[in-house]
Amino acid sequence: MITDERDEVIDRAARSLSALPMVNPMAVLEITAAAAVHRSMRPARARAVLGWFRRPSLSLASTGLLMAAALVVGFVTRAALTGAAETLGTQTSEHPVLTPAADAGAASRGVPVPMVYDAKNARSVTVVGDFNSWDPAATPMTRVGVDGPWAATVFAKPGRHVYAFLVDGTTLVADPRSPRARDNDYGGDASVLMVPTP
Amino acid sequence: MTTRTSLLTIAALLVAAAGVAGAQDARLALIRDNATRDVVNAQLVSASSMRLPAEPFVSKALEGVAKKATLKSIRSAMAALEKRMKTAYDLLGPSATVDELAAGADAISMGVSEKTIKQMRDRAPNRSIAMELGVITELVARGVPAKKAAAMMLDLMARGATGVQLTALGRDVQGDVAAGLKPDVALDLRGRGVLSLLPPPPTVSNVNVRPR
């Protein structure tokens, strides 16, 4: 019974196939060859991505992506470099010695102005002002001799500047040698420095 | 959302994130208090949106820290600075340098009028007037009436006074006032001294006026 049923199925398939038009074997060969050639001409993955970026409709996206990547790399590098600079600044503040590196780029920073402050009992003195963004680590002073005054050179651009001395890292003191500056924002003691055009 | 739109959105977000990261100045690490640092960062973003430079704001914030100012005081000082900087920007123009804007803001703080600052800009439209602004600020700070200081400064600028002469004038007036001289008298004396060294003011040309 089973054999008969199979034969019937095969017969039906044969009848269906025989109803189809005759296939030219050469045409089949040509189609297969053309498909192979088409596959071989398809661009590689990298070329496809490049093409994707070259398409005019994608220029904005491509530009944005590249800009973002460049910015991210730049900011990561900047953060790493800034961290290194901060570390150096901390070390300098612990050992307040003016090194040649501290004088590098002086011309771009402004006119050199010597600062002197008498504070015999102070353990450390730094100059803070708008010329160094009130950064206590920017301009440490060094003691002249054993009990001498504290001295440093600041670099300020021509014009009016406000500054003070930070004694022992805690106490802000105005320069007794300079006129006082009135501070409408915070109050407190500060001094005025007028820097002439070089 | 298509692939391209997604990539474009991601790119925009990355650019925005990088911009925020850039707005955070490394020196703000000197501010130990997180709340204060947040206030300063917010102020920097606000200033940036108004095309104002960050440097004077960072300096003002660190000045507050150095003077042990409260958070409220720092916030108030920075808001006031932003207002002054914006005014200075409007008066000095978009080509003004950071130093000019900071000096202009200082001058406004000390009571120099906006009209005077604009006139000073007009006297020297193509160069920095940061030093001139600093000198007039100092004159007013020493007690010279703002109008008198403005008249002298504009006269000196019109006559071509140099930066060295103007700075010397400011320092001389400082010394005279400290010695007890009245501020306006000191300015008169010192100002006339500088003017005597300068060429006479340009006269109005009469070449186009026909005699009757």
Tokens of B80: 């006031």
Angle at A186 between CA B187 and CA B138, to 5 degrees: 10
Q: Are residues A62 and A117 in the same domain?
A: no
A180: Cβ–Cβ under 8 A, 6 or more apart, which residues?
A: A174, A189, A190, A191, A192
The C-alpha of A26 sits at a distance from chain B's nearest C-alpha, in angstroms, of: 43
Tell if the pTM clears 0.80, that is, is over it.
Answer: no
Q: What is the pLDDT of residue B31?
A: 85
Q: Estimate the crossing angle of helix B3-23 against helix A59-94, to 10 degrees.
A: 20
**Is A191 part of any domain?**
yes
Q: Please say which residue of A44, A62, A90 terminates a domain.
A: A90
**Same-domain check for residues A122 and A76:** no
Q: What is the pLDDT of residues B82-132, one digit of tens each?
A: 999 999 999 999 999 999 999 999 999 999 999 999 999 999 999 999 999
The tokens describing A122, both together, are 């102070």
Same domain, A78 and A111: no
From B27, B69, B134, residue closest to A160, measured CB to CB: B134
- The answer, for A53 touching chain B at a CB cutoff of 8 Å, is no
Q: What is the predicted pLDDT for the residue at B117?
A: 98
Both tokens of B88, joined, read 């200075």
| Nearest-Cα residue of chain B relative to residue A137 | B30
Question: Is A110 in the same domain as A81?
Answer: no
Q: What is the residue-averaged pLDDT of chain B?
A: 88
Q: Residue A59: what residue type?
A: S
Burial of B99 (0-12, 13-18, 19+ CB in 10 A): buried
List all residues of chain B from 95 to 154 with a beta carbon under 8 Å from chain A.
Answer: 99, 102-103, 106, 109-110, 130-131, 133-135, 137-138, 141-142
> What pLDDT, on the 0 to 100 scale, is given for residue A152?
97
Of B22, B63, B77, the CB nearest to A75: B22
The pLDDT score that the predictor gives to residue A13 is: 66
What's the rounded Cα separation, in Å, for the pair B58 and B28?
Answer: 7
pLDDT in tens, chain A (198 residues): 445 556 676 777 667 666 665 656 666 566 666 656 555 555 566 666 666 656 655 566 666 666 666 566 555 545 443 333 332 333 333 332 233 333 344 446 689 999 999 998 999 999 999 999 999 999 999 999 888 999 999 999 999 999 999 999 999 999 999 999 888 889 887 999 999 887
Average pLDDT for B166-175: 94
| Cβ contact B61:B78 at 8 Å | yes
Tell me which residue in B103, B109, B142 faces A184 most closely, judged by beta carbons. B109
Residue with tokens 């199925």: A9
Classify residue A100: in a domain, yes or no. no
* Same domain for A161 and A126: yes
A98 domain-assigned: no
pLDDT digits (tens, 9 = 90+) for B47-95: 999 999 999 999 999 999 999 999 999 999 999 999 999 999 999 999 9
Q: What is the pLDDT of residue A100?
A: 32
Its domain, for residue A138, covers: 106-195
- Out of A58, A74, A158, the one facing B131 most closely (by C-beta) is A158
Q: CB-based contact (8 Å) between B79 and chain A?
A: no
pLDDT at residue B187 greater than cutoff 60: yes
CA nearest to B24 within chain A: A79
pLDDT tens string B2-23: 566 666 666 666 555 555 555 4
Residue among B6, B9, B27, B78 with most chain A CBs within 10 A, to mutate = B27
CA-to-CA distance for A74 and B191, rounded, in angstroms? 51
Contact B136, B156 (CB under 8 A): no
Tell which residue, A90, A79, A145, has the closest CA to residue A118: A145
* pLDDT of res. B113: 97
pLDDT of residue A30: 67
Both tokens assigned to B50:
């108004």
Average pLDDT over residues B191-206: 82
Does B18 touch chain A if contact means CB atoms closer than 8 Å? yes
Q: Quick one: three-class SS letters along chain B?
A: CCHHHHHHHHHHHHHHHHHHHHHCCHHHHHCCCHHHHHHHHHHHHHHHHCCCCCHHHHHHHHHHHHCCCCHHHHHHHHHHHHHHHHHHHHHHCCCCCHHHHHHHHHHHHHCCCHHHHHHHHHHCCCCCCHHHHHHHHHHHHCCCCHHHHHHHHHHHHHCCCCHHHHHHHHHHHHHHHHCCCCHHHHHHHHHHHHHHCCCCCCCCCCCCCCCC
Decide if A80 touches B, using CB distance below 8 A.
Answer: no
Number of compact structural domains in chain A: 2
Question: Which helix (DSSP H) or strand (DSSP E) does residue A19 occupy?
Answer: helix A2-19
- pLDDT on residue B26: 77
Show the tokens assigned to A117.
């402050």
The answer to whether B117 and B90 are in contact (CB under 8 A) is no
Do A86 and A14 fall into the same domain?
yes
Q: Give me the residues of B, 33-72, that contact A with CB < 8 A.
A: 55, 58-60, 62-67, 69
Q: Please indicate, yes or no, if residue A101 is contained in any of the structural domains.
A: no
Candidates B20, B59, B63: best to mutate against A (most CBs of A within 10 A) is: B63
Do A11 and A77 sit in the same domain of this protein? yes
Res A184: pLDDT = 83
Q: Which residue of B has its CA nearest to A159?
A: B131
Q: Are residues A7 and A86 in the same domain?
A: yes
Task: Please name the residue of chain B whose CA is at the shortest distance from the CA of residue A189.
Answer: B67
Residue at A95 is within a domain = no
Cβ–Cβ under 8 Å, residues B135 and B117: no
Pick the residue from chain A with its C-alpha nearest to B22: A75
DSSP code for A131: G
